[in-house]
Amino acid sequence: MNGSTGKMLRVDLTQGKLWDEALDEATLKKYLGGTGLGIKYLMEEVDPKLDWSDPKNILFLGSGPLGGSRVPGCASISFVTKGAMTNGATSSQANGNFGAYLKWCGYDAIIVQGVSSTWKYLYLHEGGAELRDASQLVGKGTWETEDAIKAELGYKERGMSVFSIGPAGEKMVRFAGIFGDRGHAAPHNGTGAVMGLKKLKAFAAQRAPNKLQFVDPQKLGELAKKTTEGAKAFGGGGVFNWGTSRVVPVAEAAGWLPVKNYQTDVFPEKDLFDGQRIRSLFQSQNYPCYGCASHHYELVTVTEGPYKGFFGKEPEYEQWAAWGPQIWQKDPGAAVVLSNECDNLGMDANEAGWLVGWVMECYEKGALKKEDLGGLEMTWGNVEATRALLKKIANREGYGDILAEGVKRAAEKLGGEAVNWAIFTGKGNTPRGHDHRGRWVEMLDTVVSDSQTLQTQMLVMNKDLWKMPNPMDVFNPDHVVQAEANSTGSMTVCDCLVQCWFTSFCDTETQTEAINAATGWNLSLEEVMKVGRRVVNVLRLYNLKCGLTPDKEKPSPRYCSQPVDGPNKDKPIAPHWEKMLDQYYSLMGWDRKTGMPLPETLKELGIEDLAK
Amino acid sequence: MKIDPELCIVCEACLPYCPMEAISIKDDMAVIDDDECVDCNVCLKSGCCPVDAFVFEPAPWPRSVRNVFSDPRKEHKETKIAGRGTEEMKTNDVTGRFQRGWVGMGCEVGRPGVGTRFRDVDKIAQALAKHDVEFEPKNPVTSLMEDPKTGKIKQDVLNEKVLSAIIECLYPIEKFEEIMNTLKEVSKEVDTVFSVEVINRTDPDGSYPLRKKLDAMGIPYYINGKQCVGLGRPLAKV
């Protein structure tokens, strides 16, 4: 099949068996791949009433029709499962090379079912796939696991892609993620905890020879170029040239950098974290994904401060935010250390950042004491105490065992005033590393999201196509709701393809052309946009059955509090919230009370059968 | 030069770096046209490849000539210097090789972006040899001649391509016009570009001895003064 290997791999860990299953073209046309394909199988195979930790839960990972082609950003991989944070549907994407290598090994996707009795890892190669003993990898961090598997099987650095869990995943920390290709992550909603449940330590795919067939490789080549040019130009090329760290000072100026657990919006040291400065100061080494010319992703050696000489990946914006301003920590070198430590332990940096910031505020205000925390002095910006705390969480030691449940559950357990200091959503998923009180569209998106990641993007390539208000007032509730509802599915299309947003910037037109050049399906732009909305609605249907009802669509009190300073001081979102949801439901074609997509919505998207 | 197919990520970063435009994308992989590549190592040395996919392994004869002629930092075993000609052409300081009444001549065949095959170098060298010029024995091109009397380049390197090569020779000043006419003729037969440089000592009064001849022939020229500062042996008797 053009653009597809025509099959996926089924792994039954209980029986220790592997087999191939055919993929049919009609399904692929309806869901594209990645997240879309994953939610289809989750819906069919995992009873929503089961807990995420039930052995019958599955872990899906898949590429899309452009995976393994040279269109930039399409070597990414999407993981779908019933997640540990919300006990509902999850889709989380990681960049890197796994999606491309997976397809070159002969599979569009993998479904892992059952639970192994001993630790295993899955090895994919030119000749097929096998489960291998992972007992020697238990306890290892994600970077060490990558090294160990490559060494064991005799692969060079880029000859294999390894995605694994760290100690946190093994111990089923609720916000454990899956990490690979030197710190790329699918961290949302406890994907790593599901691997831990299954006693599956890692996925390892050889860079096998590329034998994929595409309908029009020459056209795909032209579209690859066009995509690169688009990425170079988008937003002045800031991310293309300097990575997402470029965003730190921009975010502070606009009041959406999270500072000191939302207690302020002012971070005077913001410029120390600027990407351009970081790359001039520290030793940087480009570490791109397959097909990509961007300098988005680099490895870094710290060259100044107490952590001079530390080597790891350069943190992404969200990690700078978590390990800098959010915990009131002002040394970029220390932020590099904490980012890599968190990756290596295998935990989502966003949730970990909210958690550590909350613990620090509790410590400051006396709600948590040194004795509660195993002797750790969790003062603001205390790097070594944070390192020690992260290890305790990953290993579920002492109070770390409670924190390993995530900030919502930990705060509710501690109770009292401390609940009001915690940043979380009613569904239990984790906001990204922003102060969303200055970024209302994304707060709305985070709280209503059924994928537990972004479903839309304010920064789409063609604002008219996605009917974004133009010009847009980002603090006008009407504009915010219209932007969110009208562009719902724009990010989901990326996640079905599975294409990195930093190359595509939701350029749906080019994506559509590329899908057709790969597959020959001749999908219209409208049909591709509809796939995004369809997948959002399927995720919703599933989550409603999981009990993620509309009453849970609330930001925590601190999450939607009024900023006390900074540019957005006089802009509270809370008074508008319920009205915004009313409008949003109406625009989405959903019933306001039950949350269910209305019959005409289901019909338009061709998913009536799934609502039964 | 080769690109390791297990490393290339098709980011196209290398494409603008190749002086011969020998890198292209085929079957989702950056590949080098082996026949056009002159082994100059510019791609490798530029550091443009984010995944270090360029692999250079010194080639056996006759391909080995590509690297020594095309990589500006590679030392020629004939001259012991990195560069296509002899040091003497630039300074005349060491051996005093170019005396009054003689013309030192260099033909620089091929430029970045064009390159040259040795079959074109051969045509020019053979044309020069008909005028009984003396090819500079220490020049790398001379070392590739079957016989410096005929100027004929060894058969097995004729198809080798390099970024550029310099033929160096010496002849009495009286032959200047006829040799220039020969070069004009042979330029019609070669499939590349070449420039001609002549090296003279000035006349005792400091004037340039070929000025009148060049003006009469209507050939535009650019005088590039090289000062002998006496650091070598300017008074050497040869």
Percent residues over pLDDT 70 in chain A: 100
Backbone angles phi, psi at A323, to 5 degrees: -95, 5
Same domain, A30 and A179: yes
* Confidence band of B79 (pLDDT split at 50, 70, 90): low
Give the pLDDT confidence score for residue A454 in this predicted structure.
87
Q: What is the pTM of this model?
A: 0.92
Our count of domains for chain A comes to 3
Mean pLDDT of B164-185: 96
| Partner residue opposite A158 with nearest CB, options B12, B13, B51 | B51
- Measured CA to CA, the distance from residue A259 to residue A273 in angstroms comes to 13
Question: Is A350 found in the same domain as A279?
Answer: yes
Same domain, A191 and A233: no
Residue-range definition of the domain harbouring residue A372: 219-421
**Which residue among B5, B11, B29 sits closest to A288, beta carbon to beta carbon?**
B11
State yes or no: pLDDT of B93 exceeds 70: no
Domains detected in chain B: 1-57 (3.30.70.20), 76-217 (3.30.70.260)
Residue in the block written with tokens 């992550």: A185
Cβ atoms of A377 and A367 closer than 8 Å:
no
pLDDT tens for B7-29 read: 999 999 999 999 999 999 988 89
Residue B78 has pLDDT above 60, yes or no: yes
pLDDT confidence tier of residue A238, bands split at 50, 70 and 90:
confident
Cβ neighbours of A98 in B, within 8 Å: none
Residue A213 within any structural domain of the chain: no
Which pLDDT belongs to residue A310? 98
- This model of the complex carries an ipTM of 0.84
Are A159 and B12 within 8 A, CB to CB? no
Nearest by CB: A292 against B7, B11, B25: B11
Confidence band, pLDDT 50/70/90 cuts, at residue A482: very high
B73: pLDDT strictly greater than 90: no
pLDDT reading at A237 higher than 90 = no
- The per-residue pLDDT for B234 is 54
The domain that holds A166 is classified in CATH as 3.60.9.10
Note the pLDDT of residue A260.
98
Average pLDDT on B53-72 reads: 93
Of A209, A221, A288, the CB nearest to B9: A288
Q: What pLDDT is stored for residue A475 in this prediction?
A: 97
Within its chain, how far is the Cα of B22 from the centroid?
20
B11 to chain A, closest Cα gap in Å: 5
Burial code (b: 16+ CB inside 10 Å, e: under 16) for B173-187 equals eebbeebbebbeebb
Report pLDDT for A80: 98
Confidence of residue B87 (pLDDT cuts 50, 70, 90): confident
Residue B227 has pLDDT above 80, yes or no: no
Q: How many residues in total does chain A contain?
A: 612
Q: Is the pLDDT of residue B230 over 60?
A: no
Nearest CA in chain A to B49: A286
Q: What is the mean pLDDT of residues A218-244?
A: 92
Chain B hits for A288, Cβ within 8 Å? 9, 11, 50-51
B26 contacts in chain A (CB < 8 Å): none
Domain boundary among A362, A391, A421: A421
CATH of the domain at A238: 1.10.569.10
Chain A to chain B Cβ contacts (< 8 Å): 38
Same domain for A287 and A416: yes
Report the C-alpha gap between A400 and A374 in whole angstroms: 9
B10 CA to chain A: closest CA distance, Å?
5
pLDDT, position B27: 83
Mean pLDDT computed over every residue of chain A:
96
A212 within some domain = no
The answer to whether B10 contacts A225, with C-beta atoms less than 8 Å apart, is no
Contact across the interface for B6 and A159, Cβ inside 8 Å: yes
CA quadruple A490, A240, A273, A373: dihedral, nearest 10: 50
pLDDT of A357: 98
Take residue A560 and report the two structure tokens written for it. 């939607």
Same domain, A119 and A153: yes
Can you give the CATH number for the domain in which A528 is found? 1.10.599.10
Pull the structure tokens for residue A467.
């009917």
CB atoms within 10 A of CB A316: 23
At A40, give phi and psi (nearest 5°).
-60, -50
Cβ-nearest to B28 among A210, A228, A288: A210
Q: Residue A307 — pLDDT band, cuts 50, 70, 90?
A: very high
pLDDT digits (tens, 9 = 90+) for A251-265: 999 999 999 999 999
Q: Does the pLDDT of residue A267 top 60, yes or no?
A: yes
Q: Read out DSSP for B131-189?
A: TT-EE-TTSTTGGGEEETTTTEEPGGGTT-EES-EEEEEEEEGGGHHHHHHHHHHHHTT
Confidence at residue B226, expressed as pLDDT on a 0 to 100 scale: 65
Minimal-distance CA residue of chain A relative to B53 = A158
Q: Report the distance separating Cα A72 and Cα A297, nearest Å.
A: 13
Give φ, ψ of A230 to 5 degrees.
-60, -45
Task: Report the largest interatomic distance among the alpha carbons of chain B, rounded to a whole angstrom.
Answer: 66
Instruction: Give the side-chain half-sphere CA count within 13 A for B155.
Output: 0
Asked if A292 lies within 8 A of B51 by C-beta distance, the reply is: no
pLDDT at A168 over 70: yes
A197-226 pLDDT, tens digit per residue, is: 999 999 999 999 999 999 999 999 999 999
Is there a contact between A70 and B28 if contact means CB atoms under 8 Å apart?
yes
Q: Which of A207, A211, A220, A286 to mutate to test the interface with B (most CBs of B within 10 A)?
A: A286
Mean pLDDT, range A118-125, rounded to an integer: 98
Of A70, A207, A224, the CB nearest to B6: A207
Which of these, A176, A182, A177, A188, lies nearest to A162 by C-alpha position? A182
Note the pLDDT of residue B224.
Answer: 79
Give the per-residue pLDDT at A114.
98
- 3-class DSSP assignment, residue A94: strand
B50 interaction partners in chain A (CB closer than 8 Å): 286-288
Q: Per-residue pLDDT tens for A183-197?
A: 999 999 999 999 999
Q: A300 Cβ partners below 8 Å, 6+ apart?
A: A278, A282, A283, A284, A285, A311, A312, A313, A314, A336
CA distance B109 to B116: 7
Q: Are residues A454 and A556 in the same domain?
A: yes
Contact criterion met (CB below 8 Å) for A15 and A116: no
Q: What is the mean pLDDT of residues A555-573?
A: 97
CB B215: neighbour CB atoms within 10 A?
Answer: 11
B231 confidence band (pLDDT: 50, 70, 90): low
Q: Which residue has the tokens 């831990």?
A: A196
